[in-house]
Homo-oligomer: A and B are copies of this chain.
Amino acid sequence: MSDSLFSDAELVSTWLERHFASEDVAANRLLEAMAYAALNGGKRLRGCLVISAGRCVAQITGSDVRMDNLLSIAGAVELLHAYSLIHDDLPAMDDAELRRGKPATHIAFDEATAILAGDALQTQAFSILASDELAIADDVKIALVATLARASGVAGMAGGQMLDLQAEDKVLDVAEIRQMQDLKTGALISASVLMGAQAQGATDEMLAALASYADKLGYAFQIADDLLDALSDAEQLGKPAGRDAEQNKASLVSLLGLEEAQQITVQLAQDAEQALSRFGSAADDLVALARFAVNRSY
């Protein structure tokens, strides 16, 4: 990533650390597990997308970047993402013992605590969007809640995870894999872009261009993830490699082969870039994020 994107990722991580440091609740162990999962490294891609999209819209419209608001929204999206990772790793789901090189939450704590930590992280995400710390008009806050809920629920991330689980027993075609991955991964990536843009007052036209970008980016990101799973070793990945093939998981890599999958990600990243061409240099960070998404090694 470029320097400014790295520093965005650090700002998001710092925001999350402060967020958990300021909480004081009776259920300490639960808060610990939530913090463990949310502060466990990670690329902060979704948080960076919130900030970069917000910055892009601010530059086009000539308005001030409200970094405080963008960071709160980025934090909310990252908490939502952290919840999904905890639950995905559970024994009944992907049964993964490692996440980013460290024990998964249900290993570091226990299964019940992990389930509850995921539950409470989801709640926290919506709580932040409805809180006073977000200095945004109420109609925009409602739009943010609606965007995040749409991306996360039965017609979004949770629905995609269900299709993914069901895919273990059957052979999906390319269109079915795309639908599953659009829901499972793409929806929250798109929501990140849209929420950053909404917070900075994007017009419908800007949102449409950003949605087109995010759609392609999300798909490219997911295929790149599958390629990493197929090609990497465990140390680089921070989790066991080759899990998809082992679990007979549907992926474009297994269906089309490595080479074609790689070509598709490169094409998708270019298409994502193309969708933002009208924004000129205002979209530089978003373009860099699309390139990072397909070229990353972790």
A residues neighboring B (CB under 8 Å): 23, 25-27, 29-31, 34, 83, 87, 90, 92-93, 110-113, 115-116, 118-120, 122-124, 126-127, 129-131, 137-139, 141-143, 145-146, 149-150, 152-156, 158-163, 165-166, 179, 183
Contact = CB atoms under 8 A, between A and B. Distances in A.
B127 A27 contact: no
A139 B142 CA distance: 9
A130 B154 contact: no
B152 A142 contact: no
When A and B form their complex, which 10 residue pairs have the shortest distance between CB atoms, in order from nearest?
A27-B159, A123-B153, A127-B149, A92-B111, A138-B138, A130-B145, A120-B158, A30-B162, A27-B162, A130-B146
B123 A31 contact: no
26 contacts: A26-B155, A26-B159, A30-B154, A30-B158, A30-B162, A34-B154, A87-B116, A87-B119, A90-B112, A92-B115, A93-B112, A112-B165, A119-B119, A119-B158, A120-B153, A122-B122, A123-B156, A124-B149, A126-B145, A127-B145, A127-B146, A129-B145, A130-B145, A130-B146, A131-B146, A141-B142
Nearest to A84: B119
A123 B188 CA distance: 13
B115 A130 contact: no
B146 A142 contact: no
B26 A163 contact: yes
